[in-house]
Structure 1
Amino acid sequence: MAFRVRVIHSVLLGLIGLSFIVYSSYYVSPGQMYKSEALYKAEAPSEDFYRAPNKSLHSNVSFLDNRLLEAVMVTNFSVITVPATAVDTKKITSTKAALGLEDATKESVIQHVPPPAPVQNKKQGEGIKTEDLYVAGFNIPCVDLCPKLGEGLKILILVTSAPDHCEARSAIRQTWGHYNLRNDMAIAFVVGIGSDAGNQIVNEESNLYGDIIQGNFIDSYDNLTLKTVSMMEWIHDYCPESYFVLKTDDDMFINVPKLLTFLVKHQNSKMTFFGRLAKKWRPIRKASSKYYVSPVQYSAKIFPDFTTGPAYLFTSDVVSDVYTKALETTYLKLEDVFTTGVVAQALKIKRQHVNEFFNKRIPLNACTVKKGISIHMVKYHEQFELWKKLLDGRSKCK
């Protein structure tokens, strides 16, 4: 009898142990345990920074939970292969219907067609109209970014990025991107079409944060101008009521309080590009150069004055005219020269130099950070360092 009890006791203990092993294997995964040290280097802004009422977060997930989810997300993407020739026609409710401005039962049809190939080197010396390269529309339209088409927004900040630059976007969201909580400001990232893995990253971020705009073009250096044209189309369609727009890159640090102060001083401006003005720059005619421009693309010996591309600000009343004129103009891959130089000059749009746009690498000390509106060539991990220096109230600057 005693022997039989011991056997049953041993079997029960064995079953309990097996259940514990199965439980541990099921609920503990490497992805859930992963933590990125960089995600915890940012400090939340003080209450003084939010001078406008805060809008609700994109989801009910807290900032800390967002960081954890992003750490898991970055390490657990699956790759989905999409046939390059696929044409997907989807019915979606129009923007005005979504905003309650028209009958929500009406639907518009948006046809997603394969984007054009990147501008090939053999075509760089030819004169090609931008409209022959550009495909309108958006794979990810981000229609909820600007409620009521941007009415009440002081500024819309659009950050040009690449699909696989997830670390740069993450760093911005955790630092100066915090200002996206203001009701009078909106911030989003503009990307093109990348690899399957890159597109999966973009889709995951879009679902999690709701701050991704993806246009119908291959994301490449030669297509930077297409990215800006896509940006202009998006503003025209979804956020025309925002008074100012800042175009910047994902390797830029933006001093948002300084920018807001600048906006107040120029709130009556019309039809203007603001930024670091480049004057009397000459086209490079050497065909092997990354910046080569043929006489067919641009025949004059000197470019029009233009604001350099890492960051420039403009009043939104330029958008419609710039978008239309850009499509009619011979394509240049030099995005800033094309948009704020060639096109702006043709439309007689004013370009104004602003010293505070440091569109270059500068000493990263607290005083220079506080003096500038934009700083260029900032690595993603440096965003946290500059953010802390911006918040530093101890430094005494002249």
Structure 2
Amino acid sequence: MRLFMVLGAVIIINLIDASFSKESKHVPSIGGFPMSHKIEKNGFNKISSRRPSENHGSNIGNYPLTERSNRLEKKHLSLVLSSIQAFSADSNQLLKTAENEDIKTIKPSQFIKNRSKSRKMAHPRKKRHKPVPIVSPIKVQTSSAAPLLLDHPVLTMKLYEPGHLNEEIDIQRICMHRGLSLRLLILITSAQTHFMARMSIRQTWIHYGSRRDVGIAFVLGRTTNATLNEALNKENYIYGDMIRGNFIDSYFNLTLKTISMLEWADTHCPNVKFILKTDDDMFINVPKLLDFIGRQKDNRTIYGRLVDKRMPERHSESKEQQNGAIEYTTYTTGPAYLLTGDIIHELYVQSLRTNYIPLEDVFTTGIVAENLKIERMQSDDFRNVRTSLNPCYIRNVISVHNIEAHEQFYLWRKLLDPTIKCKTVWRIYCGAVQQPK
């Protein structure tokens, strides 16, 4: 745009200068007799003409030819000069603006104002026409790190990028021989900055991962923070227990994190008997969980804290606000649920073919499991809430939610303390602990 304006100004000025730079210019008169006017080279305001006697007495509109034509010529040249000066000033102003601001950012109203100003200077007595409005394109800014908000259904396969960073992870220790001798694989979804949460788990109940029939690992995503990424690389080099998928790690991408977990298990541990999905703020009673697994004979089943069909929550901070007034199917709550190993491949494949929602437990154990006709079973051993930390109570449940890093050590010590004797029978009512009379 700027180049075309400059070229146009140069061409107009050259044409006018060429047409008036000659010593004489012959303009045919209305009566057929030639009129000759000499225009000096030093400007447009010095005009000389021949005497009336040299023009053969020709008249235009009852006025002497020479005097009338001179006045009209002078007025015309004055208007031309004003137009050129206005166009040049307008071009210079736009060029000056473009030097400090990208040409795409010049407001349409500013361009219209400058264009109208030049027309007013060139044609002072002429009524201006309303300029045609200029519509600017709307730009949409996107960011890979921004929360994933969707206003229309999108297949998950269009959002999910398969694959993992497995350079530093000890796959053989976590799932030896692709899970042929593995009873239980515990996969813990963790936020990248939750280093203390991971360390507290590593020093407490993750020790059961040293058993030959138990594998335990953390599941994370990617980050655009170079410093944080370097810290995660060093942490994984030391411990080798962090599965890292190809998605931006954020709260609204928990569904992608769960799919990444399923993909890793399907690729590297397809023969495992059971998989527990849990979070890094959970205390897991692994001995109680192994005892629970030993009693199960079902296939194609998900065990956990069952939630019947319900309407989505409406509060503003909830991920559920994006899903409108849909009714959810029955599902198990996300802090901890147990999957039989024979459904991992089906869950992974069907998840990619399902429309994405950011509620990972509703998505995986609800919508996808329902489409695959997978049974979901209630187990009171999965508490998945913040409950009493009484040692006798903890020994009778599988999972407790909202556990701080320092509390992991307390529960771990009480769980293994042989001096604590639980002589009474404890009953559980909706998360409350009551001692019978």
TM-score (norm 2): 0.61
CA distance in 2, matches of 1:119, 1:315: 34
Deviations 1:282-324 (A, max 9, x none): 12356664421334xxx74x21110100000010111111111
CA distance in 1, matches of 2:290, 2:155: 37
> Which amino acid is 1:355 matched to?
D
CA distance in 1, matches of 2:317, 2:382: 30
How many residue pairs get matched? 277
Residue number among 283, 286, 290 corresponding to 2:312 in the alignment: 283
CA distance in 2, matches of 1:262, 1:288: 36
- 2:185 paired residue number: 156
TM-score (norm 1): 0.67
Structure 1 stretches of at least 4 aligned residues deviating more than 6 Å after TM superposition: none
Give yes or no for the alignment of 1:210 onto 2:240. yes
Residue number among 127, 138, 150 corresponding to 2:153 in the alignment: 127
Deviations 1:145-174 (A, max 9, x none): 212111100000000001121111111011
Post-superposition offset of 1:379: 0.5
CA distance in 1, matches of 2:415, 2:315: 42
- 2:200 paired residue number: 171
CA distance in 2, matches of 1:254, 1:162: 18
Structure 1 segments unaligned to the other structure (5+ residues): 1-115
> Which amino acid is 1:360 matched to?
V
- 2:220 paired residue number: 191
CA distance in 2, matches of 1:120, 1:356: 34
Larger Rg: 2
Post-superposition offset of 1:211: 0.7
- 2:398 paired residue number: 373
Give yes or no for the alignment of 1:117 onto 2:150. no
Over the residues paired in the alignment, what is the CA RMSD in angstroms? 1.7
- 1:273 paired residue number: 302
> Which amino acid is 2:301 matched to?
T
CA distance in 2, matches of 1:384, 1:159: 18
Post-superposition offset of 1:329: 0.6
CA distance in 2, matches of 1:212, 1:288: 29
Residues 161, 189 of structure 1: 8 Å contact kept: yes
Residue number among 342, 346, 349 corresponding to 2:374 in the alignment: 349
> Which amino acid is 2:155 matched to?
K
Aligned identity (percent) is 46
Residues 319, 359 of structure 2: 8 Å contact kept: no
Post-superposition offset of 1:125: 2.6
Residues 325, 343 of structure 1: 8 Å contact kept: yes
Residue number among 145, 162, 168 corresponding to 1:136 in the alignment: 162
Residues 283, 293 of structure 1: 8 Å contact kept: no
CA distance in 2, matches of 1:377, 1:287: 22
Give yes or no for the alignment of 1:231 onto 2:256. no
Residues 147, 250 of structure 2: 8 Å contact kept: no
For residues 359-398 of structure 1, the aligned pairs below 5 Å read 359-393=384-418, 394-396=420-422, 397-398=424-425
- 1:45 paired residue number: none
Residues 118, 223 of structure 1: 8 Å contact kept: no
CA distance in 2, matches of 1:286, 1:208: 42
Give yes or no for the alignment of 1:318 onto 2:318. no
CA distance in 2, matches of 1:293, 1:135: 22
